[in-house]
A = this chain, B = another copy of it.
Amino acid sequence: MPVSAIDSDFVLKEIVGRVQSISEKTGGVFEVRIGLAAETVGSDAGQLMNMLFGNTSLHEDVVLHDVDLPRDMVAGFAGPRHGLEGLRRRVDAPTRALTCSALKPQGLSAAGLAELAKRFAAGGIDYIKDDHGLADQAYSPFATRVEVVAASLRAERARYVPSLAGDLDTMRQQLAVAAAAGIDTVMVAPMVCGLANFHRLLRDNPGFAFFAHPALGGAARIAPPLLIGKLFRLLGADAVIFPNHGGRFGYSPETCRALARAARQDWDRLRPAVPVPAGGMSRDRVKEMLDFYDADIMLLIGGALLQARERLVEETSAFVAEVRSFGHG
């Protein structure tokens, strides 16, 4: 909108965005700070993203690096309802790092996935999540999968975390199926389902804890610490999954450290979210990851445990024992 076309004093004084500073970083890259009016966002998470990086995402040489939000807006979005403490309480692990693994590959039947879940639980894992590729496919429909996997874990301490997918109505139906099966923790990919729908689901279901999956995060264009550590937490993600450095993805140690800091650091009255570094992790990374992040995390190892095949329970037990012994060695 050309400023010269605006004749409202209110708009010119209160609404128009302002360039607050421009400073040159290295190599012709500039850091630009822009002030936007909080009134343009209101209380909708989708509109927050639209104002932060809507049209600007179409510029291929612009990265959304960070955002400072007014306290009222932070309080309005409200952040995690359970967060680090709540997820620890659920599995009776008040101080140590939490553990997680993933049900996959796609294509296994519900019974096949339940069998894997049972073996992860036998190995002592805290949280067993769906691979984020599991949706409502014919080979393991959501409702069947949740019932069968939940039933297989009924006598276990481990929590099953099914992945919700589809439009808001569909995710609500899935949540009802999960609740009926006694489940209290689910996973959502906020960028796939839309931030407003993610936030709505959270607000409407206070008993559930939510893992945020980074799929479609396009995090090379929105700084990962901002998107995954800060914004997903702001909207209420209790745990935020992200690709750890040195795995299948290209995040640097600095990016991962900043992301974990954003998820846990003091931010008004928001609860900390649990950082969940993942993406090609294995047992030989456990000690290094705990040194790097400390114990306020959840360690997620999927494929590397599944590779043990018939020794899955033993491999899982060894992973769990390593996490439990950290700090007591």
Residues of chain A having any CB pair with chain B under 8 Å: 1-2, 4-8, 10-11, 14-16, 37, 39-40, 42, 44, 46-47, 49-51, 53-55, 57-61, 104-108, 112, 131-133, 135-139, 165-170, 189, 192-197, 199-200, 214-221, 243, 249-251, 279, 302-304, 306-307, 309
Contact = CB atoms under 8 A, between A and B. Distances in A.
A39 B133 CA distance: 11
A106 B55 CA distance: 15
B107 A8 contact: yes
A220 B137 contact: no
A133 B17 CA distance: 12
Given A2-B307, A219-B58, A243-B58, A50 B169 contact: no
Contacts of A133: 40, 50-51, 54
B168 A46 contact: no
A218 B215 contact: no
A104 to B, nearest CB: 5
14 contacts: A2-B303, A5-B309, A11-B107, A39-B137, A42-B138, A44-B135, A44-B136, A44-B165, A47-B136, A50-B132, A54-B216, A55-B132, A60-B220, A193-B197
Nearest to A306: B5
Given A40-B133, A167-B46, A104 B1 contact: yes
A291 B37 CA distance: 40
Given A5-B303, A167-B196, 6 more contacts: A46-B166, A49-B192, A54-B133, A57-B215, A60-B250, A169-B200
Contacts of A189: 46, 50, 54
A165 B218 CA distance: 22
Listed residue (A2, A192, A193) with the most chain B CB atoms within 10 angstroms of its CB: A192
Contacts of A42: 135-138
B219 A139 contact: no
B132 A166 contact: no
B44 A166 contact: yes
Contacts of A139: 10, 15, 39
A215 to B, nearest CB: 3
Contacts of A192: 46, 49-50, 54, 194-196
A186 B49 CA distance: 20
Listed residue (A15, A199, A218) with the most chain B CB atoms within 10 angstroms of its CB: A218
A34 to B, nearest CB: 14
B106 A15 contact: yes
